Amino acid sequence: MTPPPYAEYRRAIIESGVRIVETAGSNPKEHIDDFKAHGLKVIHKCTSARHALSAERMGADVISIDGFECAGHPGEDDLSGLVLIPVTADKVKIPIIASGGFADGRGLVAALALGAQGINMGTRFCATREAPIHDRVKEFLVKNDERSTNVIFRKLRNTARVGKNSVSDQVVEILARPDAKFEDVAHLVRGSKGRELLESGDLDKGLVWAGQSQGLVHDIPSVAELIDRLIGEATALMGRLEGMMH
């Protein structure tokens, strides 16, 4: 609603010694130029192969390619990772990270098979012990299944996938009205409300950003446990796949 002071954010990032930054959204050129001039690596997250190609031309070091399954903004093309990841891998020369819908070792192996060099997980990390959000939000992610999301803002061409709760249900209902505008839902979707929700655990306060991968989230491990498990699953799975070839 109010554009953030991006130049000031960049200064804070650069001055604090961060080495790797993920940008997202349209036209990252000014961010990439500034970060690269200061020696940072830039991962640009996008939702289409054509945007990946243009970010590569602008100097991004890595592309994070986000399929329709993802939490947050999946773009307007509605391409699942199963197509989007290999299509992008075929087109760009820089490494790609697969994003959207990944939560376990099976997803990691699938992403590698599709041409990615790694995965990004958003929703899965929210349900870890270290995530600085209320336990009720973590339990909400565990309880939800893969169908428990709402896709909102399509008519505003700013499509977003969020967890299904009373607030996102209301947003869907209001924006379905023919003459509805962003102003009609602004009071519901404010970032400050989402923040209150994450802090208080009151699940009717605002939006909860969550993706279809909720269907793969069944517990609240520590980050170390999660990563160990994921690598263990992926390693066992690769051994099994290898065996299938003989």
Ligand X SMILES: Cc1cc2nc3c(=O)[nH]c(=O)nc-3n(C[C@H](O)[C@H](O)[C@H](O)COP(=O)(O)O)c2cc1C
What span, in angstroms and rounded, lies between the C-alpha atoms of 159 and 176?
14
Q: Tell which residue, 26, 20, 21, has the closest CA to residue 50.
A: 26
The region of 47-55, 177-185, 203-211, 221-229 touching ligand X under the rule CB under 6 A is 203-211
According to the binding rule CB under 6 A, does residue 101 interact with ligand X?
yes
| 3-class DSSP state of 204 | coil
DSSP for 154-191 reads: GGGT--EEEE-SHHHHHHHHHHTSTT--GGGTHHHH-H
According to the binding rule CB under 6 A, does residue 104 interact with ligand X?
no
The region of 116-124, 143-151, 166-174, 176-184 touching ligand X under the rule CB under 6 A is 116-124
Over the window 162 to 201, marking each residue x when it contacts ligand X by CB under 6 A and - when it does not, the resulting string is: ----------------------------------------
Least separation in angstroms between CB 174 and ligand X? 22
According to the binding rule CB under 6 A, does residue 149 interact with ligand X?
no
Nearer to ligand X, 40 or 103 (CB): 103
What span, in angstroms and rounded, lies between the C-alpha atoms of 124 and 230?
11
DSSP H helices, 65-218, are 81-91, 105-113, 123-126, 135-143, 166-175, 186-189, 191-200
What percentage of the chain's residues is helix, strand, coil (to nearest 5)?
A: 50, 15, 40
The region of 88-96, 169-177, 209-217, 229-237 touching ligand X under the rule CB under 6 A is 209-217
Least separation in angstroms between CB 177 and ligand X? 27
Nearer to ligand X, 115 or 180 (CB): 115
Nearer to ligand X, 100 or 105 (CB): 100
Q: Which of residues 22-81 bind ligand X (CB under 6 A)?
A: 24, 45, 66, 69-72
